[in-house]
Amino acid sequence: MTLTLSDPDLFRTQAYIDGKWVDADSGETFAVIDPATGEEIAQVPRMGAAETRRAIEAAERAQVGWRKLLAKERAKILRDLADAMLANADDLATILTAEQGKPHAEAKAEIAYAASFFEWFGEEAKRVSGETIPAPMPDRRIVVLREPIGVTVGITPWNFPSAMPTRKAAPALAAGCSMVLKPAEQTPLSALSVMVLAERVGLPAGVLSVVTGDAEDAPKIGGEMTSNPIVRKLSFTGSTEVGKLLMGQCAKTIKKVSLELGGNAPFLVFDDADLDDVIAAMMVAKFRNSGQTCISANRVLVQDGIHDAFVERMVELASGITVAPGFDPAAQIGPLIDQAALDKVLAHVGDAVERGGDVLVGGGIHEQGRTFFSPTIITGADMDWQMSNEETFGPVAAIHRFSDEAAAIRTANATPFGLAAYLFSQDHARIWRASEGLEYGMIAINTGFISTEVAPFGGIKESGIGREGSQHGLDDFLEYKYLAWAGVRG
Ligand code: NAP
C-alpha cells in the first residue's frame, strides 16, 4: 500500500535510536496493517532488550547536556516541533489514518492535539520555579530546587498514536529529562513520523528515541525499560492489566510511575438535562474513534423522566452515523483496530442480548465488513452485563434506566475504575452534589469533550496514577531537591 504524502520523507519504517534511523539487531521486522483494508502498510523493526538498552544509555548521555540548556532554549525546540507538526498535519494525519483507521479529519484533529503538548509544555518549562521556606533557626536558609527526574521511558497504546507519545515526551523534554518511547505494535508509524520532525528542528541525538516491536517483543522491551537502573521513571498508557504488571516490575528499582489506564466511564443523564447537549456529547463521548477511547462512555445511566426521549434521539443519532474507511471524506467512524477488538465487541453485544437487552439499532458487523461495526443502541442494560463491567471499546451504547439520583451515583461508582465520568443536568446544586459524589479523576459537565493540553488528564482507583497535561503533567517529571544552608551569620 502506498500513501500519498506531500512529504514522503515523513513515512519512516526504521526505529530511531540515539539520533540514527536503525533496523533491529536481528534484521527482523513485523507488519503494520491498515485496519480498513487489511493491506500491509509497512514492515517495522522487531527490537528487544539490547536495542532498548542502547537507547537508554544514549538517553543517559544526552540528558547531561539537555538538562543544562536554558528552559528557553528547550522551549524553542519544542515550539518549533509543534509548528512543524502543524505545518505537516495533513501528511501526519494520513499516516495516522492508514495505521489506526480513524477518519482523516479526526486524525488531523489528533495531530493538532498532539502538537499542542509540545507548545504548552515548552512554555511551562520556563515556569519551573523552586521555593524558599522560612527556616526554624536564625542562621539557616531553606531552598527547594525543582530538577528533572532523569532518564524516562514511555509506553503507549494504539488508539491515539500521535497524541499519547507526545503527551509523554513533551513534559519529559520540557522538564529536562530524556525519554525512550515504545509505541504500540499496531501504530508505530505516527511516533516515527514525529521523530523525523524532531530531528529536523534540531532535537539533540539521544534525547528522544523510539524503539519498535510487536506484541511478542513488548515484554522484552518493557522488561529492559523497567529493570534498567538508569531509568528513573516510567510513563505508561494502556490497559490496567499491563499497567499493574509494569508497576510491579518498576518496584524492584523503585522507579517513579505514571499510569494512564483503562476506564469504565458512566454517562449520567438527569431529567433536567438539555437533550441537544446530551446528544452532541454522545457523538464525541461514545462514537468518536469508534468508541475506542479510555474515556468512552461505557455505562449510559438515564433518569426515568427523560429516558424515552433520550432513547428516541439516540436511535436517530446512531442510525445517521456514516461508517466508512477513514480516507472517505464522509466517514464519521472507521473500523475497529483489529479482529480481537471486534471479537470483544461482538461478545459484549451477545452477552447483552442473552441477558435480555433490546437492540434498537445496529448490533453487529457493518456492511463495510472486516472490523467495521454498526453504531449500536441497546436498552434495558443491567449492572451484571459484561459491558457494564469492562471497557467495550466499540460504538455500542447500552442504556440503563434509573429513578433516584443518589442510587445512580452509587451505581456510577460501583467499579474499580475511576477515569472519566459525564453528567448532564441544568440544576447547579445537583451538578455540585454529583461532581462531589463521583469517584473519578475527571468529570465532564454538560459536554462530551474534555481533552485539552491545559487540564490535568488522569484517573484514580485502578485507572491510574499521576496526571498528563497542565502544570501537573510537568510536575510528574520533576523532583524536589532541598538545600539546607547553615552558617548564614552576621
Ligand atoms: P495494552 O495492551 O495495555 O498495550 C499498551 C502498550 O503496552 C502497547 O505499547 C503494548 O505493546 C504495551 N505492552 C503490552 N504488554 C506489555 C508488557 N508485558 N511489557 C511492556 N509493554 C507491554 O493496551 P491497548 O490495548 O494497546 O490500549 C487500550 C487500553 O489503553 C485501554 O484499556 C484504554 O482504556 C487504555 N488507554 C488509557 C488512556 C488513559 O489516558 N487513561 C488513554 C488511552 C488508552 P504492543 O502493542 O506491542 O503489544
Using the predicted structure, report yes or no on whether residue 2 has a pLDDT greater than 90: no
Angle between helices 71-87 and 163-175 (to 10 degrees): 160
Using the predicted structure, report yes or no on whether residue 353 has a pLDDT greater than 80: yes
Q: State the distance from the centre of ligand 1 to the C-alpha of 127, rounded, in angstroms.
A: 32
d(CA 135, CA 123): 32
Average pLDDT over every residue of 253-266 = 98
Q: Kindly state the helix (H) or strand (E) to which residue 434 belongs, with its residue range.
A: helix 428-437
Q: State the distance from the centre of ligand 1 to the C-alpha of 234, rounded, in angstroms.
A: 13
What is the Cα 167 distance to its own chain's centre? Answer: 8
Closest to 60 in 3D by CA, of 209, 211, 164: 209
Q: What is the Cα gyration radius of the chain?
A: 23
Q: Which atom of ligand 1 is nearest to the CA of 249?
A: 19
Q: Could you report the per-residue pLDDT of 410-466, keeping only the tens digit for each? A: 999 999 999 999 999 999 999 999 999 999 999 999 999 999 999 999 999 999 999
d(CA 412, CA 299): 8
Three-state DSSP state, 405: helix
Q: In 141-247, at which residue ranges do the beta strands (DSSP E only) sit?
A: 141-148, 151-155, 178-182, 208-210, 231-237
Q: Which atom of ligand 1 is nearest to the CA of 213?
A: 47
- How far is the CA of 151 from the CAs of 64, 205, 248, 310, 463, in angstroms? 10, 14, 19, 50, 25
Q: Of all protein residues, whose CA lies closest to atom 18 belonging to ligand 1? A: 219
Q: Are 191 and 183 a contacting pair, CB within 8 Å?
A: yes
pLDDT the model gives residue 6: 98
Average pLDDT over every residue of 31-41 = 98
Region of 409 on the Ramachandran plot (φ > 0 left; ψ -120 to 50 alpha; else beta):
alpha
Q: Of all protein residues, whose CA lies closest to atom 13 belonging to ligand 1? A: 218
Looking at residue 396, what DSSP letter applies? Answer: E
Burial class of residue 463, CB neighbours in 10 A (0-12, 13-18, 19+) = buried
- How far is the CA of 487 from the CAs of 52, 132, 133, 139, in angstroms? 47, 16, 16, 5
Closest to 297 in 3D by CA, of 413, 398, 441, 381: 398
Query: Which residue among 102, 159, 211, 450 is best mutated to probe the pocket of ligand 1, counting the most ligand atoms within 8 A of its Cβ?
Result: 159
Question: CA 324, 328, 333, 335 torsion: positive or negative?
Answer: positive
Q: Of all protein residues, whose CA lies closest to atom 40 belonging to ligand 1? A: 260
Q: Could you report the per-residue pLDDT of 289-345, keeping only the tens digit for each? A: 999 999 999 999 999 999 999 999 999 999 999 999 999 999 999 999 999 999 999
Using the predicted structure, report yes or no on whether residue 1 has a pLDDT greater than 80: no
Question: CA angle, corner 352, sides to 347 and 354, nearest 5?
Answer: 95
Using the predicted structure, report yes or no on whether residue 201 has a pLDDT greater than 80: yes
Average pLDDT over every residue of 102-112 = 98
The catalytic residues are 260, 294
| Residue 10 pLDDT class (50, 70, 90 cuts) | very high
Q: Are 343 and 364 a contacting pair, CB within 8 Å?
A: no
Q: Could you report the per-residue pLDDT of 231-248, keeping only the tens digit for each? A: 999 999 999 999 999 999
Q: Which atom of ligand 1 is nearest to the CA of 259?
A: 41
Q: Could you report the per-residue pLDDT of 390-413, keeping only the tens digit for each? A: 999 999 999 999 999 999 999 999
Q: State the distance from the centre of ligand 1 to the C-alpha of 25, rounded, in angstroms.
A: 25
Q: Are 140 and 484 a contacting pair, CB within 8 Å?
A: yes
Q: Are 34 and 59 a contacting pair, CB within 8 Å?
A: no
Q: State the distance from the centre of ligand 1 to the C-alpha of 156, rounded, in angstroms.
A: 6
Question: CA 190, 195, 201, 203 torsion: positive or negative?
Answer: positive
Query: Which residue among 33, 100, 155 is best mutated to probe the pocket of ligand 1, counting the most ligand atoms within 8 A of its Cβ?
Result: 155
Closest to 188 in 3D by CA, of 31, 379, 306, 383: 31
d(CA 75, CA 118): 8
Q: Of all protein residues, whose CA lies closest to atom 43 belonging to ligand 1? A: 294
Place of cell 467495521: 372
Q: Which residues line ligand 1 (CB under 6 A)?
A: 155-159, 182, 184-185, 213-215, 218-219, 222, 237-239, 242, 245-246, 260-263, 294, 391, 419, 459, 464
| Residue 490 pLDDT class (50, 70, 90 cuts) | confident
Q: Which atom of ligand 1 is nearest to the CA of 459?
A: 41
Closest to 394 in 3D by CA, of 461, 323, 462: 323
Q: State the distance from the centre of ligand 1 to the C-alpha of 173, rounded, in angstroms.
A: 22
d(CA 151, CA 53): 12
Give the whole-number percent of the chain exceeding pLDDT 90: 99
Q: State the distance from the centre of ligand 1 to the C-alpha of 184, rounded, in angstroms.
A: 7
d(CA 454, CA 113): 11
Mean pLDDT, rounded, of the chain: 98
Q: Kindly state the helix (H) or strand (E) to which residue 442 belongs, with its residue range.
A: strand 442-445
pLDDT the model gives residue 55: 99
Q: Of all protein residues, whose CA lies closest to atom 26 belonging to ligand 1? A: 157
Q: Of all protein residues, whose CA lies closest to atom 28 belonging to ligand 1? A: 238
The whole-model pTM stands at 0.98
Alpha-helical (H) ranges within 103-162 are 104-125
Looking at residue 283, what DSSP letter applies? Answer: I
Return the amino acid letter for 238: G
Query: Which residue among 187, 290, 294 is best mutated to probe the pocket of ligand 1, counting the most ligand atoms within 8 A of its Cβ?
Result: 294
Task: Give every CB contact of residue 160 below 8 A, 6+ residues apart in sequence.
Answer: 110, 114, 289, 293
